[in-house]
Amino acid sequence: MVHNPGEPPPVQRPPVPPSQERRGCLFALSQPPLMLFLTVIGTLLLLAAVHDLYRW
């Protein structure tokens, strides 16, 4: 980059380091709304399976 004498120097920002916490696919599973949704779906599947196995 060329710096001309009458211009202010360009702003040099340090590179942003990558976050220390790596977010993998299990990060999404730790979110409360998703866990609540999966719990509801799992409960409905369990109730449907029990209903099919034991018809009262």
Can you spell out the DSSP letters for 1-56?
A: ----TTSPPPP-PPPPPPPSS---HHHHHTSHHHHHHHHHHHHHHHHHHHHHHS--
Measured CA to CA, the distance from residue 38 to residue 25 in angstroms comes to: 15
Measured CA to CA, the distance from residue 19 to residue 21 in angstroms comes to: 5
Binned at pLDDT 50, 70 and 90, residue 14 comes out as confident
pTM of the predicted model as reported, rounded to 2 decimal places:
0.51
Name residue, tokens 């399976």.
Answer: 49
The more confident residue out of 3 and 25 is 25
pLDDT of 53 higher than 90: yes
Binned at pLDDT 50, 70 and 90, residue 2 comes out as low
Token code pair at residue 33: 């709304």
